[in-house]
Structure 1
Amino acid sequence: MEHVSTGTLLIILVIMVLVSAYFSASETGMMTLNRYRLRHAAKQGNRAARRVEKLLSRTDRLLSLVLIGNNLVNILASALATIVGMRLYGDAGVAVATGVLTFVVLLFAEVLPKTIAALYPERIAFPSSVLLVPLQTVMMPLVWLLNMMARLIMRLLGIKLPSNLRDALNKEELRSVVNSSRSLISRRNQDMLISILDLEKVTVGDIMVPRNDIVGINVNDDWKSIIRQLTHSPHGRIVLYRDNLDDAIGMLRVREAYRLMTEKKEFTKENLLRAADEIYYIPEGTPLNVQLVKFQRNKEKVGLIVNEYGDIQGLATVEDILEEIVGDFTTSMSPSLAEEVIPQSDGSVLIEGGANIRELNKAFNWTLPEDEARTINGMLLEELEDIPAVNTRTRIGSYQIDILEVSGNMIKQVRITPLTPLKDGVDDAR
């Protein structure tokens, strides 16, 4: 080393710092890459992405390679800096070299390259992989030896390595990813993705058309009344029953009834009953994600929901489940939430008694109880255990509820006043 000029040593020292910066940037770039974006790029045929994905498949080997290279370079740079310092300043050169090299390495080989790599991981990791792949092959014996020694020490310390390292996301983590992607995904699409994740938490009972609102035809009515109900029906399918909805006998497609009217010279009840499809029954607690698959598998679009005793509770369609994901269709015959609520300037909300509690909770970020009842009317009847008089006031949780209108055995309208300030959501409900 005595025959090497000081200028040459300085050039080698600069090269060592640059190599150290390369390894530092490579490590940070590789570790901060978005794994899902990388996987997508690899599937699209990006060769650099495939190289990086292969390197990251064994993170322990990659880190060992980078650390070996970085430490070898830094130790060599330290030795060279000491020689240069002693040549220039004598014994004091050791301290000078240590101080200067520490500053240079921290700034130019650590902080600066790692910051740039963290900001632009793909621009650093992809080109870096061109050198890291052959380096890993050359250094494999040393990398393997270091990994084995590290694992042995970890085992002696009682640290267990997981049998399968996976970077798959669970549903809650995926929900967080969707919520944090607002700048890349529109609010509407974001809500749709969250609704899909929520399908397993919602049952058919939560989205069904209640029994009292099911449109059906009593086949024991006179024939003229049946024809009149058919010709004025706004629905594509109608339940046929005898005297009581629990005695349902079929599901009639109105289009098929119209076809029979035009093709049959004699359109009778017998023809009508033969044209009806067999009723598809759905257990009351079936989650929406399960029911959507069952609809598809059984090639059905509508079903009657029954409880554990076989009593009909309501009706659910494929459209109802799709509306849970994408929102109400313009063709829906049921009132939308915006038609059932009127936010007031004092923070209270006028709400129809038939409004769905779960939809209210979603729109206003409320926490009204929805386990025992699905509508405001049902919740209040469950709470009060009686049909209340007008102007009755009650409190459920942190909500003050005033009964404004009662008709027959149903609560028609209430005023709900949260005892805590309303959160964002009023505009969405409107």
Structure 2
Amino acid sequence: MALLDDSRKRDLLDIDEYAMIRGVLQVSEKHVGDIMIPRSHMVVLELDDEPKNLLDKIIDSGHSRFPVIGEDRDEIVGIFLAKDILKNFKKNNDQKNINISDLLRPAIFIPESKRLDTLLSQFRESRNHMAIVVDEYGGVAGLATIEDVLEQIVGDIDDEYDSKEGENIFDNGNGSYIVKALTRIEDFNDYFKSSLEEEDYDTVGGLIVNNLGRLPNVGELINYRDFKFKVIKSDKRRVSILEVSLHKK
């Protein structure tokens, strides 16, 4: 690592090259427990979910893969891929006939102590993109995805729910807006002609977390002043993306 730092200081590597090589080296030193999404923040589907509830969860979360639980969160019965439901629609053309158990894929289970470089190899060899993390007692501790591992190397990976590059606030055109949680409250107020407090919080995400008293879950709705905030993207460390709409008067 010292050699890498020295190469950067001598301008032998640009900042992107330096960051990626450093990420590759560090990924062998980190473990699944360092980057996993904890069980309290997992978006799960239930084996007995009604079709409409199932679809609502999939659409609201914006995720493509979901752990499916039985009696509780310690009973993971499989992994559900959102794309499989589209194949089912094409075949049956009737959402009432969805049987989630028929669409399940096997879940893989890994310990919190597993090294990230080993997990990345396992993902590649098994062609899985999600693993369920278990603690020393065999209970579900959380989950890890291939995206979580790759972000340790290349930084945050934007998805279709992230705003366009350079835009902190994006108008959906339907009365709702996608807002990056790092948007400064001053900028938020300027855009929406609002008067959210700027003294105690710098960002919209900070205001939401502090007023709620905890990190909200994906899909959670927070009503504050004239606005309704819906968490679109977050992990165990921070809120990233919010959907914002104005309360109807």
Task: Provide TM-score, normalisation by structure 2.
Answer: 0.62
The aligned residue for residue 176 of structure 1 is 2
Query: 1:282 aligned to 94, 99, 110, which one?
Result: 110
The aligned residue for residue 66 of structure 2 is 238
Q: How does 1:183-222 map to 2 (within 5 A)?
A: 183-222=11-50
Q: How does 1:27-426 map to 2 (within 5 A)?
A: 175-182=1-8, 183-267=11-95, 271-331=99-159, 339=182, 407=213, 410=214
Task: Provide TM-score, normalisation by structure 1.
Answer: 0.37
CA distance in 1, matches of 2:30, 2:211: 30
Question: Which runs of no fewer than 5 residues in structure 1 stay unpaired?
Answer: 1-174, 343-348, 356-376, 378-403, 413-430
Structure with the bigger percentage of strand: 2
Match for 1:181: what amino acid? S
- Structure 1 residue 254: deviation in Å? 0.3
Q: CA contact under 8 A between 1:237 and 1:251: conserved in structure 2?
A: yes
Match for 2:148: what amino acid? D
Match for 1:313: what amino acid? A
CA distance in 1, matches of 2:19, 2:201: 25
Q: CA contact under 8 A between 2:132 and 2:143: conserved in structure 1?
A: yes
Deviations 1:289-342 (A, max 9, x none): 1111111122211111111112111111111111000100122879xx983999
Match for 2:28: what amino acid? E
Aligned length: 180
SS in structure 2 of the partner of residue 304 of structure 1: strand
Task: Look at both structures and tell me which one has the larger radius of gyration over its CA atoms.
Answer: 1
- Structure 1 residue 276: deviation in Å? 1.2
Question: Which runs of no fewer than 5 residues in structure 2 stay unpaired?
Answer: 163-179, 186-199, 217-249
Q: CA contact under 8 A between 1:220 and 1:243: conserved in structure 2?
A: no
Output the aligned Cα RMSD: 3.3
CA distance in 2, matches of 1:269, 1:262: 12
Match for 2:5: what amino acid? N
Identity %: 26
- Structure 1 residue 243: deviation in Å? 4.1
Deviations 1:58-106 (A, max 9, x none): xxxxxxxxxxxxxxxxxxxxxxxxxxxxxxxxxxxxxxxxxxxxxxxxx
SS in structure 2 of the partner of residue 198 of structure 1: helix
- Structure 1 residue 222: deviation in Å? 3.0
Distance 1:350 1:241, change over 3 A: same
